[in-house]
Homo-oligomer: A and B are copies of this chain.
């Protein structure tokens, strides 16, 4: 028996109500957090060799709130490794060393290959088909290497979608976080050495493995693809440091 409610109330197949969570009222703390995170991720911190600093007071003035919610947002960002508060000195926007970037990419490879495994085991054909659709616009006459910006978008969406389709919220959260950290790096590497073309070949191979439900193959290809990026950064990532 369906209850005629207009609120976000859910019902499971048994007819018992399951969850009716409301959106957690947005508070200044969370708004500041979101604004700062986006600003930091979009910031070009690697162009200058010296560190970038934030100023609590300045931020609170610019955002029109007091220092308290700003400080709480900073504390959260610090927990995620984006900034580091240096007591009485300021808030430093952290740069990742080459080593750190490589480690993050390796972790990412691990998580994403697990996602591929889970998909091969449990996802529906329709969900897997979504992945293929992402690249159907590219072919011999519309090559990734000639439309880098467009391909880069599809690329990012592929990786995000892959993890999302796995159905694991945990994998999604952890990889999203990692992705935020290595975001800037990817954009540097994708345009080099015709990596775009090889990237698409790899992706298609992953999709094919998923389509034939080849658990080990999908996992391995996914892992090797991302580890390849790690090796590339190892070789050519001297811009960092």
Among A24, A73, A106, the most chain B Cβ lie within 10 Å of the Cβ of A106
Taking a contact as CB atoms under 8 Å apart, the answer to whether B114 and A106 are in contact is yes
Q: Report how many copies the assembly holds.
A: 2
Taking a contact as CB atoms under 8 Å apart, the answer to whether A75 and B29 are in contact is yes
Taking a contact as CB atoms under 8 Å apart, the answer to whether B109 and A114 are in contact is yes
Q: Determine whether A239 belongs to the interface, using a CB cutoff of 8 Å to chain B.
A: no
Taking a contact as CB atoms under 8 Å apart, the answer to whether A114 and B110 are in contact is yes
Interface of A is mostly: helix
Contacts of A71 in B (CB 8 A): 72
Taking a contact as CB atoms under 8 Å apart, the answer to whether B103 and A169 are in contact is yes
Stretch from A79-87, A127-135, A189-197 that touches the partner: A79-87
Contacts of A87 in B (CB 8 A): 24-25, 27
Contact of A170 among B76, B80, B84, B107 (CB under 8 A): B107
Taking a contact as CB atoms under 8 Å apart, the answer to whether A170 and B110 are in contact is no
A104 to B168, CA, bound (A): 9
A29-B75, A106-B114 known, 9 other contacts, Cβ within 8 Å: A27-B87, A75-B75, A76-B76, A100-B170, A106-B118, A106-B168, A107-B170, A107-B171, A110-B114
